[in-house]
Amino acid sequence: MAGVPVEVLLGRRPLVRRLERLERRLDELVTALSNPRLLAHLLGGLPAPARRELQSIAGETAALVGGLSFRLESRCQAGACYAFARHLAQESGDRELEAYALGLESSLASAPATSGVPYPATNRGAGDAIALLDEAEAAARSVSTVAAE
């Protein structure tokens, strides 16, 4: 679906309706995933290794939801998902996921607005994109260093 002009999609009503349903479900998932109290309640009583693993899985899910949101032109939601994925990666100690989420945030910060109007929550610019990439590289290097040991 990436790269398909909206005008083409509008001619495909059933597909558009399915995409709209998917977007509503993504909104619900983002709301559930981004509720810190809910996550703390669900994960609070677990042993640390299990909690970290579930945080990592939730972070990967948030990154995937962000990617779908980005493709559906919900850039603000994509940014929120990527930031949440990074937060969960940091909480769980998953440096690979952190590097990935930072890379996603960087690509979002540097992505042109398809409508010609910048997206409010992602109006960050090239400077932020480069800073996020630098952070992603640092996180990736730390993963490489640990793997080499």
pLDDT, tens digit, 9 for 90 and up, residues 113-145: 665 545 444 445 556 667 777 777 877 777 666
Determine the distance from the C-alpha atom of residue 70 to the mean position of all C-alpha atoms in its chain, rounded to a whole number. Answer: 9
Which one is predicted more confidently, 120 or 101?
101
pTM: 0.65
| Count of residues in the chain | 149
Q: What are the angstrom distances between the C-alpha of 35 and each of 30, 41, 48? A: 9, 10, 20
Q: How far apart, in whole angstroms, are the C-alpha atoms of residue 94 and residue 14?
A: 39
